[in-house]
Structure 1
């Protein structure tokens, strides 16, 4: 409950919030991470994994990360390491908000502005639902375009042009 009978400064009442008001305000804003009964913290790598999976759900997203990050990931994969779901995802997490940066590789032929908007919307929705965080921004950087012919040139499909 907000007090308006509190001391005033230059004739304007000073409003003070109780712990209960603070908790209720947090719940109405979509966050129950900080309440009068305790605090819940969510690690950045947790939010990054959730954001990565949410972004992968969008058709037209081929991969994540810059060229160097993808090459390093491929090298680690050959050594038996797990393909990191957080590659190309960077997050900052506060008490109630998160900001997400995503480096994408898109499939050729996909409208990039529409894809970026779909990724942004899905990440905001999923992170908000799962973590109770308000996502203040999702920055999408398209670093490459995947061409189906790239598989052919690497020898994974079809035969070579010259033998």
Structure 2
């Protein structure tokens, strides 16, 4: 996370919406709701995946190991939703970092802007948390013939 994410408010900033589920102490005094980092990470991952031009998430080894795990029967887990997604959640605010692989030929700037808008909208709508930043790190570009190389390489060597 960047220096701005270190400013996530614990008690000082107002909630995004009064009486929202993320408010630490509702005015009626019936308790408080805490939202786990994993929950916000899943929301961010799902929202970003809906944007045209996003191929996958994660960098290098994380992406490769996740792809192998996804191909094993029964190996697909909810971890694939949060692969390449890091979040920091305070009581009223959150910050998100995304590692994206973008499809070749699309505008990286346009995809990043749309991902940012979708992630902010989904998190704020579903949690009531204020999103202070969404940092996007484009780690790779997916080329059209990458899929062909992945499928053909194993069968060509082993018969």
Shared fold (TM-score, shorter chain, > 0.5):
yes
> Larger helix proportion, structure 1 or 2?
2
Question: Structure 2: how far apart are the matches of 1:141 and 1:47?
Answer: 18
Pairing partner for 1:47 from 40, 49, 61:
40
Which residue does the alignment assign to 1:143? 139
> Larger strand proportion, structure 1 or 2?
1
Question: Structure 1: how far apart are the matches of 2:150 and 2:112?
Answer: 28
- In 2, are the aligned partners of 1:96 and 1:133 still within 8 Å (CA)? yes
Most deviating of 78-87 and 37-46: 78-87
- In 1, are the aligned partners of 2:46 and 2:81 still within 8 Å (CA)? yes
Question: Structure 2: how far apart are the matches of 1:64 and 1:27?
Answer: 28
Q: Cα distance 1:100–1:125, how it changes in 2: closer, same or farther (>3 A)?
A: same
Q: Cα distance 1:154–1:131, how it changes in 2: closer, same or farther (>3 A)?
A: same
Q: How does 1:1-163 map to 2 (within 5 A)?
A: 26=15, 28=17, 31-32=20-21, 33-34=23-24, 35-36=26-27, 37=29, 38-80=31-73, 81-83=75-77, 84-155=80-151
Stretches of structure 1 that go unaligned for 5 or more consecutive residues are 1-21
Q: CA deviation at 1:88?
A: 0.2
Return the TM-score normalized by structure 2: 0.77
Quote the RMSD (CA, aligned, Å): 2.1
- In 2, are the aligned partners of 1:105 and 1:143 still within 8 Å (CA)? yes
